[in-house]
């Protein structure tokens, strides 16, 4: 029976859906994307991508040939806040030089968000499907896992997944910079 938790941890990487969550809803879509409870332990790999450590991201960044893609969702405007009220979203600090594509890591994305993701990947890579890209978010966040999986499915051949995200980067004493979402971002 000890193998059962390991099996459930591997199922999403192979596109299978494990048992429903405690609320009775599945955690995964039929095509294997995490669709709820995004802040939870993640698997060790994304099928078709290379899992990288902080040191490996540092090396890729130092060579200047990698596109860093932050997929942390943009904080939504608080519900019930009157339209006339000022609201300043919390600042996002990410790895310097990153492209921030908020909300593309959801398990289900609208057509508009899918097009936003595709358009920005094509622009960031100069249309080169073999351009190296590192996807990240925070530690124990399925958003980067979903985004890396989606990039592989789009046909990109050098997809790196950095599961430690800015949590691991900051813990290593490395600098963070203020992030700004890429323009044109639609809602989830």
Dump pLDDT digits (tens) for 9-54.
Answer: 444 443 444 444 455 578 998 999 999 899 999 999 999 999 999 9
User: What distance in Å separates the CA atoms of residue 89 and residue 187, rounded to the nearest whole number?
Assistant: 15
Q: Which residue has the tokens 């508009």?
A: 112
In the predicted model, what is the mean pLDDT of residues 134-143? 97
Q: Which helix (H) or strand (E) holds 177?
A: strand 177-179
User: What distance in Å separates the CA atoms of residue 180 and residue 150, rounded to the nearest whole number?
Assistant: 22
Does the 22-76+91-179 domain belong in CATH 3.40.250.10? yes
Are 159 and 49 in contact, with CB atoms under 8 Å apart?
yes
User: What distance in Å separates the CA atoms of residue 167 and residue 170, rounded to the nearest whole number?
Assistant: 5
pTM, 2 dp = 0.84
Dump pLDDT digits (tens) for 97-109.
Answer: 999 999 999 999 9
Instruction: Name the residue ranges covered by the structural domains of the chain.
Output: 22-76+91-179
Helix/strand/coil for 69: strand
């Amino acid at each position: 029976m000890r193998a059962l938790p390991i099996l459930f941890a591997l199922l999403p990487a192979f596109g299978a859906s494990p048992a429903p969550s405690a609320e009775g809803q599945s955690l995964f879509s039929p095509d294997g994307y995490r669709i709820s409870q995004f802040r939870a332990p993640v698997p060790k790999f994304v099928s078709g991508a290379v899992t990288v450590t902080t040191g490996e991201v540092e090396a890729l960044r130092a060579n200047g040939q990698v596109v860093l893609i932050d997929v942390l969702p943009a904080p939504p405007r608080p519900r019930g806040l009157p339209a006339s009220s000022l609201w300043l979203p919390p600042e996002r600090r990410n790895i310097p030089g990153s492209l921030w594509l908020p909300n593309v890591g959801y398990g289900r994305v609208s057509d508009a968000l899918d097009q936003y993701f595709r358009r920005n990947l094509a622009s960031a890579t100069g249309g080169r499907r073999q351009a190296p890209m590192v996807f990240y978010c925070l530690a124990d966040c399925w958003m980067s896992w979903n985004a890396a999986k989606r990039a592989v499915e789009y046909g990109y051949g050098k997809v790196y997944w950095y599961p430690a995200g800015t949590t691991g980067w900051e813990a290593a004493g490395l600098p963070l910079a203020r992030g700004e979402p890429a323009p044109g971002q639609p809602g989830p």
